[in-house]
A and B are shown apart, each in its own frame.
Chain A
């Protein structure tokens, strides 16, 4: 079974520039998550999708971050404009459903460096 795919793996940009990340979840997984992992910390949920609808985006900085999952499969996360503090690994995860016990499978992440 193919895992969660993400691209790019690494991205370096200057502050105030824009960047977009792409995620392809495991086939058949209805729930998709975007996490931000700052160095030395645990993943922090940014947004959760159930199919193509947003379940929770309470921790997404909506003034600069946006995400979509238009067809309920792939998803993109965008930052515009980027700030220095956005430097982190952005992890995408997917699960069969949102409820307890549905294991979340993580992608390899995109390491973003904002200079």
Chain B
């Protein structure tokens, strides 16, 4: 079945530094990879996504890269700010029948002022 490995589980960075979170997946049929941000006690919210026909996507300080050959994708946050502190989840979407998202276990990002 589908499986998403996410690393690291926790990440602390100084304000202004960059943060990188990596995920690997096993289902070669996966074709859509969203990233969700979940602040403490709040609902997950989509922050960026990438489709399998694209290698990189950027939105202001956030970027996502995808390597389909190696089956991994990464979230990059530049110029981190304290409000970036949250748990970030990667997910994979397999359209091969089940049409469902499988989430990674999450990365708790702490941005130190």
Residues of chain A touching chain B, judged by Cβ–Cβ distance below 8 Å, are 33, 40-45, 48, 55-56, 58, 91, 98-101, 103-104, 106-109
Contacts and interface: CB of A to CB of B under 8 A. Distances in A.
Prevailing SS type, chain B contact patch: strand
A42 B46 contact: no
Given A42-B105, A106-B43, A56 B31 contact: no
Among B4, B44, B45, B51, chain A packs the most CB atoms within 10 A around the CB of B44
A42 B89 contact: yes
User: Which 5 A-B residue pairs are closest in the complex by CB-CB distance?
Assistant: A42-B103, A106-B43, A100-B32, A98-B99, A42-B89
Given A100-B31, A100-B51, A101-B51, A43 B44 contact: yes
Nearest to A104: B101
Contacts of A104: 46, 101
Interface in B59-108: 89, 91, 93, 95, 98-106
Give the interface residue-count category, chain B. 20 to 34
A109 B43 contact: yes
Contact of A40 (B42, B44, B106): B106
Nearest to B93: A100
Contacts of A56: 98-100
A35 to B, nearest CB: 8
Nearest to B106: A42
Given A42-B4, A98-B99, A99-B99, 12 more contacts: A40-B105, A40-B106, A42-B104, A45-B101, A45-B102, A91-B44, A99-B95, A100-B93, A101-B32, A103-B49, A104-B46, A109-B43
A91 B31 CA distance: 24
Contacts of B100: 33, 45, 48, 56
Contact of A100 (B89, B95, B102): B95
Contacts of A108: 42-43
A58 B98 CA distance: 10
A45 B103 CA distance: 9
Among B93, B99, B103, B106, chain A packs the most CB atoms within 10 A around the CB of B99
A43 B102 CA distance: 8
